[in-house]
A and B are shown apart, each in its own frame.
Chain A
Amino acid sequence: MLSEASNGEALLRRAETRRRWSLAMPALIVIALFSILPLAVMVVYSFLTPGTYGNVVWQFSLDGWFSVVFERDLFDDTLGLADAHLSILGRSALLALATTGLTMLFGLPTAWFIATRPVATRAYWMFLITVPFWTNLLVRTIAIQEVIRADGTINRLLLGLGVIDAPIQMMFTNGAVLLGMTYVYLPLMVLPVYAAIEKFDFRLAEAAYDLHASRFYCLRRVIFPLIRPGIVAGSILVFIPALGAYVTPRLMGGGRAMMWGNLIDLQFGQGRNWPLGAALSVSLTLLVMIALVLSVRRFAGGGRSDV
Chain B
Amino acid sequence: MSKRKFSVRHVPGAAPIAIVTFVALYAPVLILIANAFNAGPVIGRWEGFSGRWFVAAIGNDAFRNAALNSLIVAALAALISTSLATMAALAITRGRRLRGEGGIFVVLNQPLLVPEIVLAIALMIVLAQIKQATGYHGLGYLIVAHSTFCIPFAFMPIRARLEGMDLTLETAAMDLYAGRFYTFRRVTLPLLAPGILAGFMLAFVVSLDNVVVSSFVKSPGQETLPTYLMGELRRNLSSEIYAISALLLFASVTVVAASWLITRRKP
Task: Check whether chain A touches chain B (CB < 8 angstroms).
Answer: yes
Question: Within the assembled complex, what's the spacing in Å between the Cα atoms of A138 and B233?
Answer: 10
Chain B: how many interface residues by the 8 Å CB criterion?
Answer: 83
Contact with B along A145-162 (1 / 0, CB 8 A): 011000111001000000
Question: Within the assembled complex, what's the spacing in Å between the Cα atoms of A11 and B226?
Answer: 52
Q: How far is the CB of A6 from chain B (nearest CB, A)?
A: 16
Would A112 and B122 count as touching, CB distance under 8 A?
no
- In the complex, which of the residues A38, A114, A147, A152 contacts B18, with contact meaning CB atoms closer than 8 Å? A114
Query: Which of these binds chain B: A62-70, A81-89, A122-130?
Result: A122-130
Q: Which residues of B contact A75 (CB under 8 A)?
A: none
A16, A24, A106: most-surrounded residue (chain B CB, <10 A):
A24
- Classify the interface of chain A: helix, strand, loop or mixed: helix
CB closest residue in chain A, given B29: A143
Query: Which of these binds chain A: B48-56, B58-66, B86-94, B131-139?
Result: B86-94
Whether A132 touches B113, Cβ cut-off 8 Å, given contacts A32-B107, A209-B6, is: no
B25, B95, B122, B123: most-surrounded residue (chain A CB, <10 A):
B122
Question: Within the assembled complex, what's the spacing in Å between the Cα atoms of A218 and B10?
Answer: 12
| A202 interfacial contact with B, CB 8 Å | yes
Would A109 and B18 count as touching, CB distance under 8 A?
yes
Q: Which residues of A contact B165 (CB under 8 A)?
A: none
Q: How far is the CB of B231 from chain A (nearest CB, A)?
A: 11
Which residues of B in the span 45-101 have a Cβ within 8 Å of any Cβ on A? 80, 84-85, 87-88, 90-92, 94-95, 98-99
Would B10 and A116 count as touching, CB distance under 8 A?
yes
Would B92 and A132 count as touching, CB distance under 8 A?
no
| B167 interfacial contact with A, CB 8 Å | no
Contact with A along B99-126 (1 / 0, CB 8 A): 1000010011011011111110111011
Would B114 and A39 count as touching, CB distance under 8 A?
yes
Chain A: how many interface residues by the 8 Å CB criterion?
Answer: 82
Q: How far is the CB of A148 from chain B (nearest CB, A)?
A: 9
Q: How far is the CB of A7 from chain B (nearest CB, A)?
A: 18
Would A17 and B32 count as touching, CB distance under 8 A?
no
Would A264 and B14 count as touching, CB distance under 8 A?
no
CB closest residue in chain A, given B147: A30
Whether A243 touches B209, Cβ cut-off 8 Å, given contacts A27-B87, A109-B21, A142-B245, is: no
Would B118 and A186 count as touching, CB distance under 8 A?
no
- In the complex, which of the residues B21, B94, B104, B255 contacts A28, with contact meaning CB atoms closer than 8 Å? B104
Q: How far is the CB of A50 from chain B (nearest CB, A)?
A: 14
Which residues of B in the span 118-165 have a Cβ within 8 Å of any Cβ on A? 118-119, 121-123, 125-126, 144-145, 147-149, 151, 155
Question: Within the assembled complex, what's the spacing in Å between the Cα atoms of A195 and B98?
Answer: 28
Q: How far is the CB of A285 from chain B (nearest CB, A)?
A: 6
Would B11 and A202 count as touching, CB distance under 8 A?
no
Contact with B along A211-252 (1 / 0, CB 8 A): 000010011000100000000000000001101101100010
Whether A109 touches B11, Cβ cut-off 8 Å, given contacts A27-B87, A42-B118, A142-B32, is: yes
| A93 interfacial contact with B, CB 8 Å | no
| A80 interfacial contact with B, CB 8 Å | no
Would B118 and A136 count as touching, CB distance under 8 A?
no
Contact with A along B160-177 (1 / 0, CB 8 A): 000000000000000000
- A-B CB contact pairs (8 Å), 12 listed: A23-B91, A39-B118, A39-B122, A42-B118, A113-B17, A134-B209, A135-B248, A136-B208, A139-B29, A183-B28, A215-B11, A264-B117
- Which of A's residues lie within 8 Å of B, judged by CB? 16-17, 20-21, 23-24, 26-28, 30-32, 34-39, 41-42, 45, 106-107, 109-110, 112-114, 116, 123, 127-132, 134-140, 142-144, 146-147, 151-153, 156, 183, 186-187, 202, 205-206, 209, 215, 218-219, 223, 240-241, 243-244, 246-247, 251, 260-261, 264-265, 268, 277, 281, 284-285, 288-289, 292
Apart from A136-B226, A183-B25, A288-B115, list 16 A-B contacts with CB within 8 A. Answer: A17-B98, A24-B88, A38-B119, A39-B118, A110-B21, A132-B25, A132-B26, A134-B202, A135-B248, A139-B32, A139-B245, A202-B8, A261-B116, A268-B121, A284-B118, A292-B113
